[in-house]
Structure 1
Amino acid sequence: MTRRRPSPLALAAAGYVALQAGKTAAALRAAGRAPAAVEPSPGRLARVVVAQPILSGDPGLEDALRDNLLALEGARFCWLVDTDDPEAQRVARRLAADLGRADDATTVVEVVLCEPAPDGTNPKLWKLQAALDGCRPDDVLVVLDDDTRLPLASLGALLGGLDRATLATGLPAYLPGSTLWARLVEQFVDNNAAVTYLPMEPVTINGMTWAMRVADLRAMGGFGPMLRSLTDDLAVAGRVLDDGGTICQTASPQWLTTTVPTGGHYVRLMHRWMLFATVLLRRQPLSKVAAISTLHGTHPLLLWTLLLGTARTRRPGPLLAVLTVRSLLLEVVQRRIHGRSLQRPVLSVVSELAQPVHLGHGALRRTITWRTHVYRVHADDRFTPVPEPAR
């Protein structure tokens, strides 16, 4: 009697479940070994400088800045504002003035006006150098995007990470957005961050939240050697690793808000992220490229295989089983690491199915709009201007 061979749908389902379960187990194991999320002592908090490059335009800007002032009471804040951004100056100065009127305030806020970055210079790194120049040698610089909320315990995890490594980086998670496109971005990040960042040895950082000792940062030349890089996260991570340093990936979340009003904004954002993902892969050895591609590029293709196979055979069983297991595994990871479920079941699946499309877009279209200029990207530190078409 011959044994019946498993159908392609059954093989795809088994492969998806095995891959997702393995990534989940690896992420949970790494989370258990990560620095503990504990609130730092007032003395240690007083040596923290929270550097935030600020741009106006986000309707949630003021709330995000205020939330960090309340959460990180006792730290020093350095708000880096462009001289040609009067709205950001107004928000920053009003919050600083409100803080100054509080009799029991232990938090210090400095608003630093920054001249526009020279052409071809990364504007975020340009601002961060101004913050670094104002730090004391024994300070810890915490870089925090202006749309990111850092809980006090997550700051404690970053500081604990610096007891192990040269740089400590956080784990991004999104608060609910107001549009369909914002929710798709949320699902892409929330469903992938933990199982992407935690299991593997870090090759990059979460540029929205990271920390370094000022002495270590200055010893490797500060931000000056990185100013010609398009992406601050790849530049900082590459500089640390090339200098012989190490990166600690924490498992404590930082909460972001995002404004993605239209489908065009969504496509451009995902294109930028995927383009820079391909830039990162080009810098890795072939073995690591193969590992990253297998672990993080295979499951959307298997999901497509299941979806198309189900439409062809009209046998929904394998697909429904996979979607059920997938949802349960995401629930386990998110409740363990984020303390709550973050998935929206339908949008979560749509976001995963869209990933190969966005990756192909990023790999094929090598141009990006940066500070009103269009560049063709060859590498993080090598890009050429694209001339405007003749009229």
Structure 2
Amino acid sequence: MGEAALVVAALLLVITAVRGSLAAVAIVAPARAASPQDLADVTVLVAVRSGDPLLPDVLASSVRTLAPARVLLLVDDDDTAGRAAATAAARATGATAAVLVDAAAATAATWRPAAREVADEVGAVRGEGTRRPHVEVVVCPPPGPGVNPKVHKLALADVRSRTVVLLDDDTALPAGGLARLVGALGAADLATGVPVYREQGGLWSRLLAAFVNGSALVTYLPLAQVGPPVSVNGMVVALRRDRLEGVGGFAALATATCDDYALARLFRAHGLRIVQTSQPAIVATTVPTAAAYLRTVRRWLLFAGEVVRRDLSARLLLLVLVPTALPLVAVVLAVASGSLAAVGAGVAALAVPALVTRALRLRVMAAVPPDAASADHMASPIHTTSPGWLGVLLEPVAAVLAPLQAVAAQLGPRTVTWRGRRVRVGIGTAP
């Protein structure tokens, strides 16, 4: 048992070295930045839903780094708090904000009063011939049964630009991030970034950050180094509008709860190229309780299970599945052996990956210039930039729990509560 524990610990260290090296190569690769003229022909879509106390700060921070792109904050007509956060973010830019009524939805009289109400809050409604402002608030009617609420809002947006960027409402791009993400479209039809979670809030928020920070950079980037991406990080995606329309538009994703994976499969099925960049997307999420943490991770692991079921490959097995299982195996074997050497090796095998991912986060953030425009928001918890040592300590905990949670997720019901609605996990009509 002791020898087996030593072998597993050694294997985990070897895989960590391989994944860390591949990720480091991706991070230092030269990146092309789009010009201001190119960015002026970009529309950023943010589907907003309230529920997280950090939402106002994240939205306010996010819109500051997106100019000169046009930003549409898509809110539900029944989400008063979401509308307030979006309106405040629009006002904070110093530009005139407007409410758009999508032409396809204009016949839905149930949401016109809400649109007028927000227009009064923001201060102006776009008239014919008026120059469009930088940030606009779009009020959306509720989705129909079985329709992905996020995709539903995205489909209502009035987009005429050449490039579309999808950005989650808990996510902000650092200064210059939009230019680097859009610049990657010079060699691709779709480009995506990697999530870096802010270490903020209470224990469960920090454990969720550790779960993501301990895995994102060493899975997304290494996988893309040895083959084309099979999925995308839905927190931030840039794509050409004509390519999106060519694969069926947002309507083709309407019934997909795993919309990011479904989008990737649509692009792959049509022979379009997906590029995984090392551009960080800074995410801040509040997780108030252990139950909330378990629900969130279960949802993500169910989504990941869809990828494994449909796109299992040798690289996915060796670079994702095996490294995910090994931390738990190492702990079990070390404890069962009763050997001090095995326990020491197990501790090292858990600590080294956490140190590697910390170093990678420092490296990927080192290329990000300071966001002077957000200086007045620096007191917000979403602006904690340096990886903390508590995160390093929590990453092994999250890593040991992950295999257990993954198995439990796949054995349980394939339904989750997402954005306030009970939905079944799947990719809808995507191929």
User: TM-score normalised by the shorter chain: which range applies?
Assistant: 0.7 to 0.9
User: Residues 224-303 of structure 1: matches in 2 within 5 Å?
Assistant: 224-285=251-312, 287=314, 290-292=317-319, 294-303=321-330
Match of 2:42 in 1: 48
Deviation at 1:127, TM superposition (A): 0.8
The partner residue of 1:10 within 6, 15, 35 is 6
- Paired with 1:225 and 1:106, the residues of 2 have a C-alpha distance of 28
Q: Which amino acid aligns with 1:353?
A: V
SS of the equivalent of 1:229 reads: coil
Higher alpha-carbon deviation: 218-227 or 82-91: 82-91
SS of the equivalent of 1:211 reads: strand
Match of 1:387 in 2: none
Equivalent pairs counted in the alignment come to 369
RMSD: 2.6
Match of 2:222 in 1: 199
Q: Which amino acid aligns with 1:12?
A: V
Match of 1:359 in 2: 406
8 Å Cα contact 1:80-1:112 kept in structure 2 = yes
Match of 2:26 in 1: 30
8 Å Cα contact 1:367-1:374 kept in structure 2 = no
Deviations 1:232-279 (A, max 9, x none): 111111111111111111102111111110111111111111111111
Match of 1:100 in 2: 95
Deviation at 1:57, TM superposition (A): 1.9
Q: Which amino acid aligns with 2:4?
A: P
User: Residues 1-391 of structure 1: matches in 2 within 5 Å?
Assistant: 7-33=3-29, 35-36=31-32, 38=33, 40-98=34-92, 99-100=94-95, 108-131=134-157, 134-136=158-160, 138-200=161-223, 201-285=228-312, 287=314, 290-292=317-319, 294-305=321-332, 307-309=334-336, 312-315=338-341, 316-339=343-366, 340-341=386-387, 344-370=391-417, 374=422, 377=425, 379-381=426-428
TM-score, length basis structure 1: 0.86
Which runs of structure 1 show a deviation greater than 6 angstroms over 4 or more consecutive aligned residues? none
Structure 1: tracts of 5 or more residues without a match = 383-391
Instruction: Report the CA distance shift for 1:373/1:254 in structure 2 as closer, same or farther (over 3 A).
Output: closer
- Paired with 2:53 and 2:387, the residues of 1 have a C-alpha distance of 26
TM-score, length basis structure 2: 0.79
| Greater relative contact order, per chain length (Cα 8 Å cut-off, separation 6+) | 2
- Paired with 1:163 and 1:142, the residues of 2 have a C-alpha distance of 15
8 Å Cα contact 2:42-2:70 kept in structure 1 = yes
- Paired with 1:314 and 1:48, the residues of 2 have a C-alpha distance of 58
Deviation at 1:189, TM superposition (A): 0.5
Q: Which amino acid aligns with 1:214?
A: R
Deviation at 1:107, TM superposition (A): 5.8
8 Å Cα contact 1:74-1:107 kept in structure 2 = no
Instruction: Report the CA distance shift for 1:179/1:228 in structure 2 as closer, same or farther (over 3 A).
Output: same
- Paired with 1:93 and 1:6, the residues of 2 have a C-alpha distance of 60
Instruction: Report the CA distance shift for 1:254/1:24 in structure 2 as closer, same or farther (over 3 A).
Output: same
SS of the equivalent of 1:198 reads: helix
SS of the equivalent of 2:349 reads: helix
Deviation at 1:319, TM superposition (A): 2.7
